[in-house]
Each structure stands twice: as C-alpha cells, then as structure tokens.
C-alpha cells in the first residue's frame, strides 16, 4: 500500500458517480395463488438485498470476517463509528469505469453459489450508475463510499420489460445501453 | 472487488441525489397577515 500518496482533502462538492452491477432477484409476495412479482437488487458479492427508495449506508463487517482481523479492527480504533476508513476494506464499492465494473461482474458471475442458483432459476443482472456521497475513500479504479443509491440502470432492449419493473420498484430511470457502451455489454 | 490502491479521502456533499432518495423539502410556513387596526 503506497501510504505516501494518500491525501486527506477538503470536502468535495457535488455527488460522485460510479459503476456497479447488481443481481436481480424476483421477490414473490405470496406463496400461493397469483404471484405478483417484484424485483429486488442484490449485491454481486454479498447476499444482501438493496432496500428500494432508501440510501444504502455502509457498515463495517470486519468483526465478522476472518481475514486478518487484527489489522482490520485497528483500522477503526481512531474512528470506531466511521465507515469507510482508509485501512479497512469496508464501504460501498463502485468502479470509476463501466469496463472495470464489467470485468469484475464477469468474474463474479462464474462463482454464483448453489443456493443462489436454486433460488433464482434465471439469474438476471443489471448495470448502472450509482450515486455516492458522505465519507469517501477514492482508489485508483474506484471508490468506497459511506452512502450510495442507484441513479440510472442500463439494460439490453429485450430486457427492458423486467428491467423496467426494477426501475419502478427503485424509482430509478432505465435506459437501453447507448451505442457507445454496447461494446461493454458482456 | 479490486479497485486498486487508495489515493485520497474526502467528504462528498451531494448536490443532486437520485430522485427516489432526495430529501423532501417541506414548504415554508405561511405567516398569517398582520392584523390591521380598524
């Protein structure tokens, strides 16, 4: 880690935007009878649903991880309630470019858990721009943020029907990938 | 998620949050007109 390059800067005025992919999970509202289905977003990496119309707020889960717990817990000693902090992997992640977000998603989709495959017969995923605010750690290719919420979803034209339902649930506009981004669709 | 090395940190003051999570501005209370003595 190049400690010498890290700078604490003055507040940044204006919402930051990054790129993410999400899994889309159908949520059945009743077990029997006609089943109205809504779609919810889930983190690619963690099995956590994104609550519609409520900003995501980062919380540090380092106490629950087995990855080098000593260094992680010490990262929060000066700021125990702050998340993210510099030397802990906590925070809501987003990439600066759609290309990097796509590369990450392609790697993650090949490691989908069996539980997820059983739950979702046809896995769907959405790409989107995500608004980031609050305390932010900027990295070379992305950000870790305290708050986040999707700002715009992108999908292929044939996916617009179900993607539109996701947009309605979350109050986020959905558009077809513009031609300049088509090369970045997996 | 490999986003590279940390570069800097700062607080972001948002100016245009997504509409779904934008705080609702309450309308300013309307003051009653001052009573004019007859």
Structure tokens at A81: 């309630």
Q: What is the pLDDT of residue B28?
A: 77
Question: How does residue A151 score in pLDDT terms, banded at 50, 70 and 90?
Answer: very high
Residue A118 clears pLDDT 60, i.e. is over it? no
Residue A53 clears pLDDT 50, i.e. is over it? yes
- Full DSSP string of chain A: --GGG-EE-PPEES-EEEEEEEEEEEEES-SSSS--EEEEEEESSS--BPPTTS-EE----GGG--S-HHHHHHHTSS-TT-SS-TTS--SEEEESSHHHHHHHHHHHHTT--HHHHHH-SS-EEEEEEEEEEEEEEEESSEEEEEEEEEEEEEE-GGGHHHHHHHHHHHT--EEEPPGGGGGG--
- Highest mean pLDDT out of A32-36, A45-49, A53-57, A59-63: A53-57
Residue A24 clears pLDDT 50, i.e. is over it? yes
- A104: phi then psi, degrees, rounded to nearest 5: -65, -45
Q: Which residues in chain B are contacts of A132 at CB distance < 8 A?
A: 12
- Highest mean pLDDT out of A54-63, A106-115, A122-131, B2-11: B2-11
The answer to whether B24 contacts chain A (CB < 8 Å) is: no
Q: What is the pLDDT of residue B7?
A: 92
Q: Which residues in chain A are contacts of B18 at CB distance < 8 A?
A: 131, 149-151, 171-172
């Amino acid at each position: 880690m190049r400690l010498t390059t890290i700078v604490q800067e003055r507040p940044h005025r204006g919402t930051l935007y990054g790129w993410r992919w999400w899994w889309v999970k159908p949520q059945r509202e009743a077990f029997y009878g006609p089943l109205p289905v809504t779609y919810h977003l889930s983190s690619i990496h963690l099995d956590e649903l994104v609550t519609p119309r409520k900003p995501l707020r980062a919380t540090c889960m380092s106490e629950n991880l087995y990855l080098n717990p000593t260094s992680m817990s010490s990262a929060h000693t000066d700021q125990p309630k702050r998340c993210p902090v510099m030397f802990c992997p906590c925070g809501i992640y987003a990439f600066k470019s759609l290309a990097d977000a796509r590369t990450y998603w392609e790697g993650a989709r090949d490691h989908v858990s069996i539980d997820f495959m059983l739950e979702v017969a046809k896995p769907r995923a959405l790409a989107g721009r995500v608004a980031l605010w609050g305390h932010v750690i900027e990295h070379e290719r992305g950000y870790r943020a305290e708050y986040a919420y999707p700002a715009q979803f992108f999908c292929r034209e044939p996916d617009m029907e179900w993607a539109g339902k996701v947009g309605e649930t979350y109050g986020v506009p959905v558009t077809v990938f513009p031609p300049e981004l088509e090369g970045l669709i997996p | 998620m490999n986003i590279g090395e940390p570069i800097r940190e700062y607080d972001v003051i948002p100016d245009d949050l997504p509409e779904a999570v934008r705080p609702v501005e309450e309308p300013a209370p309307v003051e009653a007109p001052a009573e004019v003595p007859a």
